[in-house]
Structure 1
Amino acid sequence: MEQLAAGRKTARTLTRRKRMPPRSTPSERQRRLGAELRKLRTRARLSGDDVAALLQADRSRVSHIEAGRVDVPRNGLYKLLRAYGCESGPLFDALMDMAHDRGKGWWDEYKDVLARRALDLAELESRTTAIRAHDSSVIPGLLQTEDYAHAVITGVESERPHLDQGVRFRIERQRVLAGLRSYHAVIYEAALRMRIGDTNTMRKQLLKLIEIARLPHVTLQIFPFEGGAYSTFSRNFVLLGGPTPELDTLYREHPTSADFIGDGDVIADYTRMFERLTSLALAPVDPETAPESQETRNSLSLIQHALYELR
């Protein structure tokens, strides 16, 4: 507290320095950093005025930092984390990295043609260690072929401008798969049966599912019709693992918007939901198993059956 008191005394004597105006549309990374700092401050039982004094700034700047509208310099963030009782370790390092990440990447090429939420998702995926995805309607975006992606986007937004760029963006996002520790998807059987594009498009898409399932870090399960309504009830969602559990994110996409949720209780609820989906779904695809040796119905046999019906 002596450090906070000294900060208050210094703040009263400082001349206000010129600063960049607050940004009106912070990125998801910037919003999440601010939200995590607010959580830590609240847990440490410090007021906004206490933090303002520590940073030698006014109270409004603290509000802007916690809303992701302004950045906090490296030495300032270090002071905050120490004052909040955040010890050196994975979370401390991850928050420092988030603050000083410029947010630049391959997705910048699309900033003038795609919605901010799409760019935020690509940036978030670039920092993700593990992904768990559930889709009750179509094949997840990270597993789509180019033709299938084109058919999906066209079917949903036939008048969408920059359609080709949107498809290319979705395909480029798939590069993240190679760097993940694990990827686990549960897909409702309806996604295998729904005709997206022509027969050839669907055939190539189903074959790609089997091909991707050959990757050692990929687990693919199909939720069959006879599994009940739980898959439909659960809707579509993605759980993205952060560098620490505190920075895990739930992503839910809607027709005209998207949610990025960092609330631990909500993420825990969806984690339990995903675990129930995996328990009700068929056994994962095991591409090493020959079709004739499959004694019970599993995810691979269901995909192969859907392929057969396309003939």
Structure 2
Amino acid sequence: MRRRSVLERQTPVPYETIVHEAALRILVSDRRAARAQLLEILGAIERGHATVRVIPFAREGFAGAGIEMMYVGGPLPRLDTVLRDAPHGTAFIDAESQLARFRALLNKLEKAALHPAESRNFIHRMSKEL
């Protein structure tokens, strides 16, 4: 809940994410819960502080990009950090040489992802399918 509070405060922190269609289609619980999750994502988009971009199954050209990472950036790129969850714990990556590799990967994902409006429509259609 603490993480969520950052997104729900008076002046929420802008949040951008790229997610693969597979992650949106996994039924962790049941169809009702999956639909509620998709509607929550749509609600965050509509509130205006979250940008969600989807990489559909049909997209090609992003081989090697199947890793989970959180790229935290701001006005001073030298302070950027990548967070990676691993079985041994969370790794914080901030060495410039490593960040350059993750920035290149992020650029590749951005090129493969749908535009935010297309992604919103994609998620909306998925919610109707459930």
Do they superpose with TM above 0.5? yes
Instruction: Show the counterpart of 2:52.
Output: 220
2:73 to 219, 241, 247: 241
Instruction: Show the counterpart of 2:5.
Output: 175
* Aligned residues of 2:65 and 2:105 also touching (Cα < 8 A): no
Alpha-carbon distance between aligned partners in 2 of 1:174 and 1:231, rounded to the nearest angstrom: 31
Instruction: Show the counterpart of 2:37.
Output: 205
2:85 to 247, 253, 261: 253
1:266 to 90, 98, 102: 98
TM-score normalised by structure 1 residue count: 0.38
Structure 2 counterparts to residues 79-98 of structure 1, below 5 A: none
Instruction: Show the counterpart of 2:122.
Output: 302
How many correspondences in the alignment?
127
| Greater strand proportion | 2
> 1:301 deviation in Å?
2.3
Instruction: Show the counterpart of 1:76.
Output: none
Unaligned runs of 5+ in 1: 1-170, 286-297
Structure 2 counterparts to residues 36-47 of structure 1, below 5 A: none
> 1:262 deviation in Å?
1.0
> 1:188 deviation in Å?
0.3
Matched to 1:188, the amino acid is H
User: Structure 1 residues 240, 277: CA separation in 2 closer, same or farther (over 3 Å shift)?
Assistant: same
Alpha-carbon distance between aligned partners in 1 of 2:6 and 2:63, rounded to the nearest angstrom: 26
Matched to 2:82, the amino acid is L
> 1:190 deviation in Å?
0.5
State the Cα deviation string for residues 27-73 of structure 1 (Å, max 9, x = none). Answer: xxxxxxxxxxxxxxxxxxxxxxxxxxxxxxxxxxxxxxxxxxxxxxx
| Greater helix proportion | 1
**SS of structure 2 residue aligned to 1:235:** coil
* Aligned residues of 2:54 and 2:113 also touching (Cα < 8 A): yes
4+ residue runs of structure 1 moved beyond 4 angstroms?
none
2:27 to 171, 195, 198: 195
Alpha-carbon distance between aligned partners in 2 of 1:254 and 1:246, rounded to the nearest angstrom: 24
Alpha-carbon distance between aligned partners in 2 of 1:218 and 1:226, rounded to the nearest angstrom: 24
* Aligned residues of 2:45 and 2:52 also touching (Cα < 8 A): yes
Instruction: Show the counterpart of 1:184.
Output: 16
Unaligned runs of 5+ in 2: none
* Aligned residues of 2:17 and 2:52 also touching (Cα < 8 A): yes
Instruction: Show the counterpart of 1:279.
Output: 111
Higher RCO (CA-CA < 8 Å; seq separation 6+): 2
Alpha-carbon distance between aligned partners in 2 of 1:238 and 1:191, rounded to the nearest angstrom: 15
**SS of structure 1 residue aligned to 2:88:** coil
State the Cα deviation string for residues 196-231 of structure 1 (Å, max 9, x = none). Answer: 111111111000111101233321101000113727
**SS of structure 1 residue aligned to 2:98:** helix
State the Cα deviation string for residues 70-128 of structure 1 (Å, max 9, x = none). Answer: xxxxxxxxxxxxxxxxxxxxxxxxxxxxxxxxxxxxxxxxxxxxxxxxxxxxxxxxxxx
Structure 2 counterparts to residues 16-165 of structure 1, below 5 A: none
Matched to 1:192, the amino acid is L
User: Structure 1 residues 215, 267: CA separation in 2 closer, same or farther (over 3 Å shift)?
Assistant: farther
Matched to 1:176, the amino acid is V
> 1:193 deviation in Å?
1.1
> Taking every aligned residue pair, what percent have the same amino acid on both sides?
30
TM-score normalised by structure 2 residue count: 0.85
Alpha-carbon distance between aligned partners in 2 of 1:243 and 1:196, rounded to the nearest angstrom: 37
